């Protein structure tokens, strides 16, 4: 059967794609027109609330958990929120972290409004639903602004010692949590609380801690809540990870320091171990690529290993960037990869690297999570290899008994 597309069909497809693109553009313009209507600043909180729909006002009401107001009409709800929001400024600031405080401060320092270019729609929606920050167009720029009658009160609160301490505490808690999920993948609420209290050396309220995490999630963090666990958003199968942890009851979670967890919470952080550097150097030496390109590829490999991906899946990923010519080339390449596997801390090993839990006098081997399916590809045929087929490495063993372990 021919794979060619006729001229008429191709024209129809191009027209359809063009129409879809036009629809997306029109929807964005419609949304922006609503979110960024022209604002004559300074504008009061009451006037800002008046520009919102009843549904938007209800979101603000729910943000502060104001009860018994659902039956109010729009004008009545505006009247209540105009009094309630100023009374909740301190509690709002006491629940945010340094990133959100920085947004508030930029707006305040710029005279009440600021044109942000790096905030996602989710983060902007969070601020809009607080009622403290609104969106609009001022002097032709799309901005976030704070109603003028809230500015001085917010400035005073931002400078208060209590708020500064609360923001610092929240920031540290969120960063430590992100570091924990970076190394463990997922932990139960009780395990997480125990880790936090041990690291901070003081008791922490589980309810208030989870509320902090949930608020951060609404803002746009990578923290996921599921079945009594807090997990990394890249975790694909919580039940499988729980089973992997239960298979190793004799191993506790690796005892990372607070400093290590804080470091791991930074965006784009990678454990640049000696085996990481070795593989980067191998790629730069044997293939026409820059060091930065090799670092990006190896960084992704490290994360695949951390998540428990098999050697076959790692090879599948590598084939997107490297055109291996034969099995010998693959074997040579996979030697430093296997070393990297054995030196990379992994979720299913509770934050340990295989070399750290290997019994003395045993042969080094890549310890990976229990495989779910094969993703290895034969170099010559470019076809996926079944788990009961001969391993393409040439060992003569079945794939499941060799590289698919």
DSSP string, 19-75: HHHHHHHHHHHHHHHHHT-B--SS--HHHHHHTS-HHHHHHHHHHTT--S-TT--HH
Token code pair at residue 180: 């924990």
pLDDT in tens, 173-217: 999 999 999 999 999 999 999 999 999 999 999 999 999 999 999
Torsion of CA 126, 130, 131, 135, to 10 degrees: -20
Nearest to 328 by CA among 367, 380, 290: 380
pLDDT of 28 above 50? no
CB proximity list for 169: less than 8 A, separation 6 or greater = none
pLDDT of 9 above 70? no
pLDDT in tens, 351-382: 999 999 865 544 544 544 444 444 444 544 54
Nearest to 98 by CA among 262, 260, 230, 243: 262
pLDDT of 395 above 50? no
Q: State pTM to two decimals.
A: 0.81
What per-residue string of b and e applies to 234-271 under the rule 16 or more CB within 10 Å gives b? Answer: ebeebeebbebbeeeeeeebbebebeebbebbeeeeeb
Q: Measuring CA to CA, how many Å separate 161 from each of 95, 107, 273, 283?
A: 15, 20, 40, 51
State the chain's mean pLDDT as an integer. Answer: 87
Q: Can you tell me the distance from the alpha carbon of 229 to that of 238, in angstroms, rounded to the nearest whole number?
A: 9
pLDDT of 25 above 50? no
pLDDT of residue 382: 45
pLDDT-derived band of residue 6, with 50, 70 and 90 as boundaries? low
Identify whether the C-beta of residue 158 lies closer than 8 Å to the C-beta of residue 104: yes
pLDDT of residue 65: 92
pLDDT in tens, 130-162: 999 999 999 999 999 999 999 999 999 999 999
């Amino acid at each position: 059967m021919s794979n060619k597309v006729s001229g008429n069909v191709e024209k129809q497809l191009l027209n359809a794609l063009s129409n879809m693109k036009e629809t997306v553009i029109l929807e964005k313009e419609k949304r922006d027109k609503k979110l960024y209507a022209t604002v004559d600043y300074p504008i009061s909180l009451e006037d800002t609330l008046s520009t919102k729909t009843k549904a938007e006002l209800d979101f603000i009401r729910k943000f502060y958990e104001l009860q018994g107001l659902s039956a109010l009409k729009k004008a009545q709800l505006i009247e209540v929120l105009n009094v309630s929001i100023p009374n909740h400024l301190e509690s709002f600031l006491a629940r945010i972290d340094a990133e959100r405080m920085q947004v508030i401060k930029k707006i305040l320092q710029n005279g009440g409004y600021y044109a942000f270019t790096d905030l996602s729609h989710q983060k902007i929606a969070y601020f809009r639903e607080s009622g403290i920050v609104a969106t609009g167009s001022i002097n032709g720029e799309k901005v976030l602004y704070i109603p003028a009658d809230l500015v001085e009160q917010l400035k005073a609160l931002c400078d208060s010692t209590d708020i500064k301490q609360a923001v610092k505490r929240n920031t540290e808690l969120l960063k430590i949590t992100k570091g924990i999920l970076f190394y463990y993948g997922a932990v139960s609420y009780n395990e997480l609380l125990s880790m936090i209290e041990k690291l901070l050396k003081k008791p922490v309220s589980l309810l208030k801690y989870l509320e902090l995490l949930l608020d951060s999630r609404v803002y746009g963090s990578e923290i996921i809540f599921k079945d009594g666990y807090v997990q990394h958003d890249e975790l694909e199968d919580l039940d499988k990870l729980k089973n992997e942890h239960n298979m190793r009851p004799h191993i506790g979670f690796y005892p990372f320091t607070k400093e290590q967890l804080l470091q791991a919470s930074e965006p784009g952080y990678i454990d640049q171990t000696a085996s990481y550097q070795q593989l980067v150097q191998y790629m730069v030496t044997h293939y026409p690529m820059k060091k930065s390109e090799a670092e990006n590829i190896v960084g992704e490999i490290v994360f695949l290993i951390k998540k428990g991906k098999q050697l076959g899946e790692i090879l599948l990923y590598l084939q997107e960037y490297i055109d291996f010519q034969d099995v010998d080339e693959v074997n040579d390449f996979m030697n430093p990869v296997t070393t990297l596997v054995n030196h990379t801390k992994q979720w299913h090993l509770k934050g340990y690297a295989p070399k750290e839990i290997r019994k003395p006098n045993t042969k080094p081997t890549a310890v990976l999570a229990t495989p779910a399916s094969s993703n290895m590809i034969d170099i010559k045929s470019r076809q996926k290899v079944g788990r009961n087929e001969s391993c393409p490495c040439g060992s003569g063993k079945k794939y499941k008994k060799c590289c698919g372990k």
